[in-house]
Chain A
Amino acid sequence: MKHASTTGADAVTHAPATEALYDAEVLIIGSGAGGATTAALLAEAGFDVLIVEEGDWVEQGTVVPFSLDQMNRQYRSGGVTVALGLPSIAYTEGRCAGGGTEVNSGLYRRPPAELLDRWRTQYHIRDLDPDEMYAIAEEVETALNVTPVPGAVSPASTVLQRGADALHWQNSESPRWMKYPAGGSAASGQRQSMTRTYLPRAQRAGARLLTQCRVRRLSINGTRASDAEVVLADGSPGRIRFRHVFVCGGAIHTPALLQRSGLRERIGDTLAVHPTVKLAARFPDPINMPDDVPVHQVKEFAPEISFGGSASNPGLVALSLADNWGQFSHALQDWERVCVYYAAITSEGKGRVKAIPGLRDPLVTYHLTARDRQMLRSGLSRLALLMLAAGADEVYPSYHHAPIVRSTADIAELQRSFATTKATVMTVHLCSTVPLGEHPRCAADSFGQVRGMKNVWVNDASMLPDAPGVNPQGSVMAFAVRNARRFIGTERPRG
């Protein structure tokens, strides 16, 4: 039997020419917000835990945030992934130790009380106690050092605040999981992602981590899974035997793996996302902060529509101007005065994830409803208004043949000419492909146990019943901790 190394960055072990064999009491597939928290709690409870992660361990500080180098090293497919539809929706997924927590904005929102209440009643989630969830949220917030920016926020963030205040729209700073040095500023924070928090904690409690290890399928016999076929870093095959498995590969690859393993009922049919449209806005003074994002969010129309800011290095500014390059490209020469902002909606559309025999990756589709299209139009128009109210001298909406918006009168032309089929629609929030609850549409029970299986759980964004309308990581982690505790309460370590 082989064992993976128990260190972080050195965690890769190489397989011999024959199939390598690993044993674990609990196998956790994926090391993001769901997988890492599950691993820490189970290892601390005495379970023998092996975490496998398809990507590599990338030490913080060795890549420039939001750069192409980061896309290469920490994102799936270099950051180019698309849900097909009319329009197609571009999305990104982290693929590295720590998953999406290593590459996202680091903004944190608790699941709102009304959301938990709706999920509990609509999806018949057993024992979903808001008090328990908020106690867990506090615990997570302490572990991640969720905190507002010390001192002044960035100029790009102030834009959102200033515009919203001028329009009397509700807005607030979203806290982040960051540690700031004494006297530090917005730019000096160090993100408290999974490689800084729950993964080291899991390892200290004895969990092993095997990076660059792709799980091809689970072997299932009746109601139990027994082992995982894997491909190791050097391309050689391996096998991991386990008593229990938690699949935490994210909203696309968790259902795809379950489907490849023969589990298809209600799995992958209910992909939910927060579709976003964006624009760039130019201001009289420099506002751009190339390797960070604004921390303010405008929630006047939440949960239906939310506004926030995106990363805006020169490459990403060029990307946002590309849809009407002939008219917009001059703005790039002033990129330090330009920043990219988004309008995100809570969609009523639905998507699917479908594993295709013979192909490595699943087919992902998403269909916006007529209401969604209208919300995106409305969201982009209001975002343009917000930018003008914040003092923008020119606004560049990201869709083909969009007008330059210089005054409120131009917004009418934006509303007239906008169509989602002409726009760059994207998302970074994907969820709900293996939703939990006792409702017949749910693929897992109220604690993430996959229907019909005795030892297979999901514990990542897949399990959220639908799109939460806020940054989902707080919701994912709260549910992951809750479900892990339930598991610990019902299963005993082998000892």
Chain B
Amino acid sequence: MSGHSSRGLVRPFAQRLLSADLPGLSHAQRDQVAAFTVQRVDELPSVLRLGVEIIAAPMRIVVAIPGSGRAITWLIHHPLPLVGEYVRMIRSLAYTYIWEQWPLTLPDGSSPR
């Protein structure tokens, strides 16, 4: 595994995806889940990680553009080739983590009262 972290590329997108999918998730939880997804991306096999970072880089740019919310929402709900696989991977990691850590989480990400 290479020494650098993909945190700068993956974390902002993971947070944006979680905000869109699970608006009830608290900031602290969102940060924790995003950190987990970054950790898993950092552990990917080298070839796969390289591919993920190639896709993540333009996605990171899109996330940084002011007013790109609708574009992001569209991207995360349409299974585009390659980009769709990246979205699916981040979402899969995040959901698995959330419902293993907090199994009572409601479908919108909020905690039961």
Residues of chain A at the chain B interface (Cβ within 8 Å): 67-68, 76-78, 80-82, 84, 86-88, 313-319, 321-323, 325, 329-330, 332-333, 335, 356, 359-364, 400, 421-422, 424
Contacts and interface: CB of A to CB of B under 8 A. Distances in A.
A421 B107 contact: no
Nearest to A328: B107
B46 A361 contact: yes
Contacts of A314: 99-100, 103
20 contacts: A67-B100, A76-B45, A78-B43, A80-B48, A81-B48, A84-B48, A88-B85, A315-B98, A317-B99, A319-B92, A321-B95, A325-B107, A330-B107, A332-B99, A332-B107, A359-B47, A359-B50, A360-B1, A360-B45, A424-B92
Nearest to A354: B47
B7 to A, nearest CB: 16
B100 A315 contact: yes
A421 B85 CA distance: 10
Given A318-B95, A319-B96, A82 B48 contact: yes
Nearest to A399: B79
A87 B79 CA distance: 11
Contacts of A362: 45, 47
B43 A80 contact: yes
Given A80-B43, A84-B48, A319-B92, 13 more contacts: A77-B45, A314-B99, A314-B103, A315-B96, A318-B95, A318-B96, A318-B98, A322-B91, A333-B107, A360-B1, A361-B45, A361-B47, A422-B79
A476 B109 CA distance: 44
Closest 6 CB pairs of A and B: A329-B107, A315-B100, A361-B45, A318-B99, A314-B103, A315-B96
A84 B100 contact: no
Interface in B16-54: 21, 39-40, 43-48, 50-51
Contact of A80 (B46, B51, B89): B89
A5 to B, nearest CB: 26
A77 B99 contact: no
A360 B100 contact: no
A260 B34 CA distance: 35
Contact of B46 (A84, A317, A335, A360): A360
Contacts of B79: 400, 421-422
B50 to A, nearest CB: 8
Contacts of A319: 92, 95-96
B40 A80 contact: yes
Interface string B60-99: 0000000000000000001101001100110111011111
**Residue in A319, A330, A359, A364 with the greatest tally of chain B CB atoms within 10 Å:** A319
**Residue in A315, A316, A400, A424 with the greatest tally of chain B CB atoms within 10 Å:** A315
B66 to A, nearest CB: 26
A421 B81 contact: yes
A335 B103 contact: yes
A291 to B, nearest CB: 12
B45 A81 contact: yes
A422 B79 CA distance: 6
Contacts of A317: 99
